[in-house]
A and B are shown apart, each in its own frame.
Chain A
Amino acid sequence: MSSLATEAAAPPAPAPTPPRPRRRRFPTVPWLLLSGSILILGVLTGYPVVRMLVMSFQEYERAQVMGMPAEWVGLDNYVAILTDSGFWEVLGRSIVFMVVAVTLTMVLGTLVALLMMRLGRKMRLLVSVGLLLAWSMPPLSSTTIWGWIFDTEYGLVNNLLTRITGDRWFGHSWLLDPLGFFTILTFIIVWGAIPFVAFTMYAGLSQIPGEVLEAAQLDGAGPFARFRLVMLPYVRTIVTVLVVLSMIWDLKVFPQVYALQDIGGDREKTNTIGVYIYQMGMGQGHFGMASAIAFVFVAIMLLLSVYYVRRTIKEEEL
């Protein structure tokens, strides 16, 4: 039919026109190149998310793992966790820990960055080497190291405290007390997280033109005023991104908590949200409830990351 139409239109031979805009073909090549990624992400990320959502609306216990059909229970799992004081305790604990850890990381990381600005090249290299070493440690290795430093029987801290105070500290367990547990956890996390913040802040701060800082100094701004009024506005977006990312990382902390509990913490009183999901599901076999918690957790994380994602999109000019 279309060929007829063209024939009919053909006779009055058209003058040479500029080439017609070619019809856009389906972009086969790029989608073919993306197909592997789409397959993997669909099967191993998309499907698990859907599966999690489905399980969170089902009664899914050990029996269902064995092959019993899973019954739909509507919002029962969500009601169960949201009315359970245990869940709120874990969530509250995770958030308090996150706030403390992020605050410490940001403040100390910034101070280290400012220190690096002050130093000459050799000393800066020295500090960088220290930071890189701490940064590169696998989380599980660093947890065992700190566990050893605070060990009940032979740990360095108890040994030093015994020497300094004269009291006998040997046998004092730091991990059994939840407050002590979280203090050590904070040490582990903050020690490992400062390097990233310090390097990023340093990179940001050293972009500030020297004349601006000099001018501020000539105008009589002290070091603190210079930092607050001149430096901070320059690096505001970096700070915000760092805070957001740190919040996300510290909220989902898992191996450090889990391994510290192995070394000698009270699991019930020290669970953070990630470990709680693991114990609810893998430990006690409440897969449905664990999925409901996990879904709440994912929602919190995605909400937290909205700013970061939007900013990255803008910055990358997507």
Chain B
Amino acid sequence: MSQVRSVEAGRAAPPRRSGSATPGVRRSPVRRAKDAGWGLVAIVVFALFVFPVYWMLNTSFLPNNRIRGEEISFFPTPDVFTLDNYRSAMFSEERAPFAPAVMNSLSTTFLTLVVCLVIGFVASIALTRFTFKGRRTFIILILVIQMIPGEAMIISLYRIIDGWALINTIIGLSAVYVAGVLPFTIWTLRGFVAGVPKELEEAAMVDGCSPAGAFWRVTFPLLAPGLVATGIFAFINAWNDFVLALVIMQRPDTMTLTLWLRTFVLVTQATNWGAVMAAAVLVAIPAVIFFLIVQGRMSGGLVAGAVKG
């Protein structure tokens, strides 16, 4: 799983740099030509990164004869535009059914998210608002656990979940996901809780709040964005997972969406690439949307000025 990737993302986020160009100073033609050159490079880089995504969308809206034609269709013009690929991906009788896969994915990710947030949240309070022996050890342990590759754990996890008769169950898969995502959740939430200065709570206590009340009324609302961001990252991790689902969900009716997508490219018959791309889009949409929401949110600093005021 890619928890750590996200941790670092949170840390690296706020690179806002005011433009280097000073207003009012007229730039030389050489300088302007240079800027234009770099602008061109930027456009090429942009195109390189966007191209595969664009190509996926393009193919998903093209009819089969265009996809397989020797003529390359770079845009689904209105005369050829079709939603058939989506229809085929979602409703075709020959394919693994879409609706159960969505339900399985949604229920496992939701269960994972809720358990991780609740358990991780209380843990992060313990780690930030209390000093006690063993605190440091626990945090370091969390950090080390994050480094254990889930790919290596599949064999013993499979044997254990099988032993509990939880193979092919939402609970079994969610349990495995929780174990994978929780260390990251604790780690990130710990950062967010630590970011809310204790002084705010103390001020509320001076004004007559109980310690718990101060936490609940002052700190918790400030943590809401952090909880949302962390929850979304937990969601993305579980949603995108393939390896653990492959091991735990072995029956066709218990497939998650990533396993469902995989059935499209198995080399049993000629691949219908239009349907594959439509399926890839369907799997990607929630992940992309949520990712775009949190990538800015993770920048923190939301409460940086709260004490100064």
By a beta-carbon cutoff of 8 Å, the part of chain A in contact with chain B is 27, 29-31, 33-34, 36-37, 40-41, 44-45, 47-49, 51-52, 55, 65, 112, 115, 118-121, 123-124, 126-127, 129-142, 144-149, 151, 153-154, 156, 159-160, 191, 194-196, 199-200, 202-204, 206, 210, 241, 245, 248-249, 252, 254-255, 258-259, 262-264, 273-274, 277-278, 281-282, 287, 290-291, 294-295, 297-298, 301-302, 305, 308-309, 312-313, 316, 318
Contacts and interface: CB of A to CB of B under 8 A. Distances in A.
28 contacts: A34-B122, A36-B118, A36-B119, A41-B183, A45-B153, A47-B160, A52-B153, A119-B39, A120-B20, A123-B42, A126-B43, A130-B46, A136-B284, A139-B242, A140-B258, A140-B261, A140-B283, A141-B287, A145-B277, A147-B265, A148-B273, A149-B55, A199-B15, A262-B265, A281-B154, A287-B155, A297-B152, A301-B149
A132 B293 CA distance: 11
Interface of B is mostly: helix
Contacts of B144: 302, 305, 309
A41 to B, nearest CB: 6
Given A51-B159, A287-B155, 13 more contacts: A37-B182, A130-B47, A136-B291, A140-B242, A140-B262, A145-B53, A245-B5, A258-B243, A259-B262, A262-B265, A264-B267, A278-B154, A298-B149
B143 A34 contact: no
B13 A203 contact: yes
B158 interface: yes
Contacts of A29: 126, 130
B2 interface: yes
Contact of B8 (A36, A130, A245, A263): A245
Interface in B132-154: 132-133, 135-136, 138-140, 143-145, 147-149, 151-154
Nearest to A160: B72
Interface stretch (B172-180, B197-205, B219-227, B301-309): B172-180
Interface residues of B, number: 103
Classify the secondary structure of A's interface with B: helix
A196 B59 CA distance: 27
B140 A126 contact: no
B262 A318 contact: no
B120 interface: yes
A305 B147 contact: yes
A263 B145 contact: no
B35 interface: yes
B82 to A, nearest CB: 17
B49 A144 contact: no
A45 B130 contact: no
Nearest to A64: B159
A116 B187 CA distance: 30
Nearest to B34: A118
Nearest to A292: B155
Contacts of B267: 262-264
A147 B52 CA distance: 10
A24 B272 CA distance: 69
A159 B132 contact: no
B46 A141 contact: no
Contact of A37 (B50, B147, B154, B186): B186
B4 interface: yes
Interface of B: 2, 4-5, 8-9, 12-15, 17, 19-21, 35, 38-39, 41-43, 45-50, 52-53, 55-56, 59, 67-68, 70, 72, 115, 118-120, 122-123, 125-127, 130, 132-133, 135-136, 138-140, 143-145, 147-149, 151-160, 162, 175-176, 178-179, 182-183, 186, 239-240, 242-243, 246-247, 258, 261-262, 264-267, 270-271, 273, 276-277, 279-281, 283-284, 287-288, 291-292, 295
A55 B14 CA distance: 46
Contacts of B45: 112, 115, 127, 130
A302 B8 contact: no
Contacts of B295: 132, 136
B151 A145 contact: no
B156 A55 contact: yes
B52 A294 contact: no
Nearest to A120: B19
A156 B67 CA distance: 10
A160 B71 CA distance: 10
Contact of B242 (A121, A206, A254, A264): A254
Contacts of B271: 151, 263
B159 A134 contact: no
B126 A31 contact: yes
Nearest to B119: A36
Contact of A309 (B43, B136, B147, B262): B147
A121 B239 CA distance: 33
B157 A119 contact: no
Given A33-B125, A297-B149, A52 B156 contact: yes
